[in-house]
Chains A and B, each alone.
Chain A
Amino acid sequence: MKKPVIYAALTVGAFLTLFPYLLVVLTSFKDRGELFSTRPWLPAVPPSTDSFHRLADSGFLTYVGHTALMTAVLTVGQLVFTTFAAYAFARMEFRGRDLLFWCYLATMMVPNVVTMIPLFLIMRQLHMVNTWFGLLAPYILGTPYGIFLMRQFFRTIPTDLEDAARIDGAGPLTILWRVLLPLSRPALGTLAIITTVQSWNNFLWPLIISSSDDNKVATVAIATLRQSIGGDYNLMMAGSLVTLLPMVVIFLSFQRFIVRSVVLTGLK
């Protein structure tokens, strides 16, 4: 194929990829009248911050704060617990190890919605509906997917260094912290980004478990915007912009790393 044709195709694709982002920005800076009077793809002159004021008045920023807190806690929790479990699976000998690992892998096929009903029933039994505990507990101890990813990575690291450390009298904790983790930055980074994206975007479980103002998250809040005020697209786009922006910032900061390393997750 000729290069100009390829570039033309790639540019059309790039435009389609970015257009929704462009539209969010354009629409959220329009006021109610301009939403219908101007073409969607033209900017408002002068830009209006009316939607953002209304958004702030509706308490939306609190919910974004909740999302940020949830994301931080889950990412830290998953990194810690996943690392411990993956280390045990990759490097330690114990009865039932392989059987247990296959059990972990099998649970990856359980659809989300299958566990939602019983999880809700469990949380209701424990009186944990509408609490931070209920919101965080199912994810904080690590996921089989993350453990699989880390275990595969640990197994690619030669054992010589650990053997040397063990001869020097290092225990498993020291070996994990001083020897393995410094060598595992790419895998840890991948896991951190995947967990951050998943937690930030998570919707179904928060929708089911938390509806009070104390622990409602951004995704649940913007879904409510859609239902309560029919066609107020200015407000919805402003909310979407605030929700989408942090992920775009993360992408821009770690862009090289993400492109290289998401591929790690599937093919190792």
Chain B
Amino acid sequence: MKSRRGLTAYAFLLPSLLGVFAFLLLPVAIVAGVSLFHWELLDSPHFTGLANYRRLVHDGDVRHSLWVTVLYVLLTIPVQTVLAVVLALLLNQRMRGVKFFRALYVVPWMATPIAMGLVWSWIFDPANGALNRFLAVFGVDGPAWLNDTSFALPAVAAVQIWQYTGYNMLFFLAGLQGIPAELYDAAATDGASPLRQFVHITLPLLNPTMFFVLVTNVIGSFQVFDTLYVMTGGGPAGSTEVLNFRIFQTAFQQFDFGYASAMAMLLFALILLITLLQVRYFNRRTTYDIS
């Protein structure tokens, strides 16, 4: 009886097991394996041990990409998270029309990043784009945005902030609504200012939400691709060449699969490390129940 039930369970699981094995676990094993080979598209692969990793350590371009990636994460995550919290606080009040605004801010979440990347390229167009035409009304001569090495990365970051702030707001809003009102009442009778209430009640109790939002968004920021692909293609002069994009180019434009796999392992390790650090940080501060 018991073994028959086990069999039924595996029958239910079979398609998904097949999927996870063939399209997630096997690929991870393959990419780790391929990173030990020199393998360009038409050649047959030959084993070179850790040569790709040695090359990685001395590759100035990879170091540059790592820096651009970190910069991109730093440009997006803090702004996006703070804005989402502020927006959630504003929308957590009893006011007319609040539901309308809540819904409206989530619209960009569903937008196709490739299409929106094009739309924002048009907004950022140096000569005829909406942004510089708008700035010109005030006599300001706007920069070339996507064609300018100092403005291209912030411009791509702005699109991500535009797209996901409202979506993140929803999670913070749910978090805020889970905080019992009595806590604020008690603090108010003790004479705590709204700012102190925010720092000592709201923020600590938002920790589980903060954990979820930060972990998922940081992983997402490390992997920015679509908007970057249509807006800058890694340019100008490599100023938006994040690691994720370099991996893509190395593998699918230069067909250097071995080296691209080593870079992919580096990105994987980086994401894993940063996720674990966040888990440790938040574990000390919250009891977060995952089961």
Contact = CB atoms under 8 A, between A and B. Distances in A.
Contacts of B275: 109
Interface string B256-275: 01001100110110011001
Given A94-B9, A201-B113, A259-B102, A111 B223 contact: yes
Contacts of A222: 114-115, 118, 230
B223 A112 contact: yes
Contact of A88 (B13, B162, B212, B225): B13
Contacts of A93: 2, 5-6, 9
A7 to B, nearest CB: 8
A248 interface: yes
A133 interface: no
Nearest to B122: A233
Contacts, number: 273
Contacts of A161: none
Interface in B236-256: 244, 247-248, 251-252
Interface in B156-190: 162, 166-167, 170-171, 173-175
Contact of B34 (A84, A117, A172, A258): A117
B27 A119 contact: yes
The interface centre, meaning the residue of A41, A89, A114, A144 with most chain B CB atoms within 10 A of its CB, is A114
A94 B6 contact: yes
A93 B13 CA distance: 12
Given A18-B104, A250-B110, A267-B209, A117 B119 contact: no
B272 A109 contact: yes
B116 A244 contact: yes
A118 B116 contact: no
A256 B16 CA distance: 31
Interface string A8-49: 011001101111110110010000000110011100000000
Interface in B1-43: 2, 5-6, 8-10, 12-13, 15-20, 22-28, 30-31, 34
A132 interface: no
Contact of A81 (B19, B114, B261, B265): B19
Contacts of B87: 13
Contact of A223 (B230, B265, B272): B230
B116 A240 contact: yes
Interface residues of B, number: 94
A104 B19 CA distance: 11
Contacts of A167: none
A112 B28 CA distance: 11
A209 to B, nearest CB: 10
B107 interface: yes
Contact of A138 (B17, B23, B257): B23
B235 interface: no
Contact of B130 (A41, A139, A147, A203): A41
B260 A117 contact: yes
B101 A14 contact: yes
B106 A266 contact: no
A192 interface: no
Contacts of B95: 3, 6-7
Nearest to A101: B291
A23 B119 contact: yes
A84 B15 contact: yes
A218 B26 CA distance: 29
A36 B95 CA distance: 42
B260 A13 contact: no
Contacts of A95: 6
A63 B251 CA distance: 25
A17 B122 contact: no
B68 interface: no
A114 B28 contact: yes
Interface string B79-105: 000000001001101010101011111
A163 to B, nearest CB: 15
A219 interface: yes
A251 B22 CA distance: 33
B251 A88 contact: no
Contacts of A119: 23, 27
A226 B20 contact: no
A73 interface: no
A119 B265 CA distance: 15
A247 interface: yes
Given A107-B20, A142-B19, A203-B229, A17 B104 contact: yes
Contacts of A40: 122-123, 128-130, 133
12 contacts: A20-B116, A81-B16, A88-B12, A93-B5, A114-B28, A114-B31, A114-B264, A116-B248, A122-B27, A122-B30, A218-B112, A259-B99
Interface of B: 2, 5-6, 8-10, 12-13, 15-20, 22-28, 30-31, 34, 87, 90-91, 93, 95, 97, 99, 101-116, 118-123, 125, 128-130, 133-134, 162, 166-167, 170-171, 173-175, 208-209, 212-213, 216, 219, 222-223, 225-226, 229-230, 244, 247-248, 251-252, 257, 260-261, 264-265, 267-268, 271-272, 275
